[in-house]
Structure 1
C-alpha cells in the first residue's frame, strides 16, 4: 500500500535511526510525565534500543497504556491511537451493537440468499446499510455511514500516487447478520464492510478542534472482500451513477462454547485505511494504514472477550503495518513511522479507560517492533499512572 511519504527502513535498526520521535514542540511535545523513573534490567545496547521504541510508542500509542481520550482536544493522537480507536470504536463495536437489534422487526431487510452469485456461501442474512444504521443504534448520530464525493469536498491528497484515492473512500457501510443451518451458530456471524466517518477532538492551538476520520476497509489488504453496487458521483458528468464496488470486510463470530463469558473471534485478516485531515502544517490529508491479521484456531487468532468477572480482553496477536506520516515544517520531518507486533489489553474498561472510576486498573502486554512492553496502568482521577515490567522497570504518568 502506497503512502504519501516513504516509510522508515524495514529493519528495526533502520527504524530507530530513520524515524524521528516527532517534530517541534506543541503537538509533539506531549509525552508521558517528565518525572518517570527507570531501573535498568538489560545490557546497555539492548536498553538503548528498547528505550527508543518505547519513546516512540508513548508518543504514537497512548491507547496502549489506557491514556487515550477521543474527546480531549489537547491530547495528541498518534498513529497507533488512530488505528486502535478506529478498530475498537468502528468495526468491532458496530458488530457488537448490531446484535442488540430485534431482527424480527425488519423482515424487509432479510435476504433468502445473502450473496446471490456465491458458490461457497448459501446462507441467508439480514443486511443493514448506510444512514439507516443510525436509526437502529444509539450513539452514532454524528457518524457518517454513506461516504459520497460531497462528504470529501475540500479534501486533498498529497499526489496522484496516494492510494487509496478519494474515489476509493466513496462507499456506504453495510452490516450483514448471517443465518445458519445450525441453531448454535444462528446469527452469531456478523460482517461489516465499506466505509464510514466519525469525529474526534484534536487542537493544534489554532482554530479547529473537531476533526473527522474517514475510514475504509480496504479490499487490497483484506482477506475477506465483498462486492456490491452503490451510487457514486460520475467524475466526468458529476451525476449520480450506479457502480460496482469491492471493499474489504471484517467478520466477527461469537463462539458460544466459551466457558468464561462472551468470546468474539475475528474470522480473517482485515486491512484499514484512515484518512486524517487535522495537521495544519500541510494542505493535504495524511493517511494511516494498518492490518489486523486473524486465523481462527491459529496462534494469530484476534479476539475480544467479556469475561464472567466483567473484565474485557482485547487480544490482537498479529498487527502489521500501522504506518503513516505527519509533516512538520519548523523542525523539518515527515515523521514517517511503521509499527508491527501484538497488542493485549485487559481490564474492566479497556476502550475508555481514562473515563473509568478512580483506582481502575488496566493490564497490558504488547510486543511492538520486537520489543516487549508489559505492565499495568491505574486511573487516578483521570491521570493515568503506568508501571512497566518490561522492557525494564519504569514508572511514568500521562
Structure 2
C-alpha cells in the first residue's frame, strides 16, 4: 500500500498534465525572476558603455572606431574563457560559478570609471569579457537541468527578456545618472554611471550563493515526488540524445550541426549587439538631445522586444515548431534595420523602425537556443553550448567595431545598418536549411 502511494504519482500515466504544468509553474516562479535579475545586471554592465559613449568620447578624445574596438574587445575575452568556464560549472555547480562570475565582473565594471587612455579602455573591456565568460551559456545550461526542450523556449525567452528589460530600465536610469550626477565629487557623469551600475551585480552575486540550487535533487523547496517527476522528464529527454553526452571538444568542432548552429547564432548576435551598443547613438542622430531624453526613447524599442520575445517563444513552444519561429524574427529585424537607415533623420519613423528591428533581432536569440539544446545533453551540452556561444560572440566584437569604422569613414551609420540587415537575412537562410525533424520537439 505504502509503495503504491509513494510511487504512483511518479508514473507518466498517473501524473496529470495539469499537475505537471503546475509543478513547472512552481519551478519557473522560483528560478526565473532571480535568473532574470542576474542577467539584467549582467547586460547593464555589458552595454552601459553605449550610454557612457555619449560624453565619454568627447571627454577622452576617443574616435568612433576606438569606441567600437573597445566595446567589441569584451567578446574576445569572452571567447577565450567561455568554454572552460562552462565546463567548470558542469563540474562544480551553478552557485559557485555564477557567484564568482558576477562578483568579478562588478569590480572590473566599476574600474571603468578610471579610464583615461584607449589602452586602459581596451584592457578593461577585455577583462570584463573574460570575467563574464560562461555566464550566459551557463544560464542556458542551467535551464536544461530543470526544463525539457518543449518547455525550454519559453523559459529561455523569459530569461532573455532581461535584455530588453535592462534597456527599458537601464536607458532612463543611465541618462538620469549622467545628467544628474555630472560634476559631483569632481567626477563626470559617465564615471558615476560605471560605478553605480556595477553595485547591483556585486550584491546579487553574493545572493546567488544562498538562493540557487545546483540540481533538482538539492532543491529543498521541492518534495520527493516533485523531484522525481522533474528528474524523470529530464532523464527521458537525455535518453533520446545520449549520443552527444560524452563527445570530446574536438568532436564538437567536427560536428556539422554544431558548426551550423554557431553560424546561425553569429547572425543573431550581430543584430543584437549592433543594435544595443549603438541604439543611444542612433536615437541621438535622429535629432534627440539630452542623455535623459535619449534614455527614455531607447526604452521604446526594448519594450516592443519584450512583447515580441514572449509572444513568439510561447507560440513556438505551443506549436513545437522552431524554424519558422526563428526565420520570421530574423526577417523582421532585417526590415527594421533597413528602414531605420532610410528614416534616420526622422525621430518618429526612425524610432518605429528601431522598434521593429529590436522586436525582430532580439527575439531571435531565445528562439535560437531551442535548436542546439534539442540535440545536446549532459557534458555535450556544457561544451557544445559554450562552443556555439563563444564563436557567435565574436560577432559582438565584429558588429560594434564594424559600425564604428564605417561611421568614422562615412560620417553615417546607414551602410553599417544595411550590412547588419544582410547578416540577419543570411541567418534566416541558414535556419531554413536545418531539418525540421531535428529541432521540432
**Which one has a larger percent helix, Structure 1 or Structure 2?**
2
TM-score over 0.5 (shorter chain)? no
TM-score by length of 2: 0.24
**Which one has a larger percent strand, Structure 1 or Structure 2?**
1
More relative contact order, 1 or 2 (CA 8 Å, 6+ apart): 2
TM-score by length of 1: 0.25
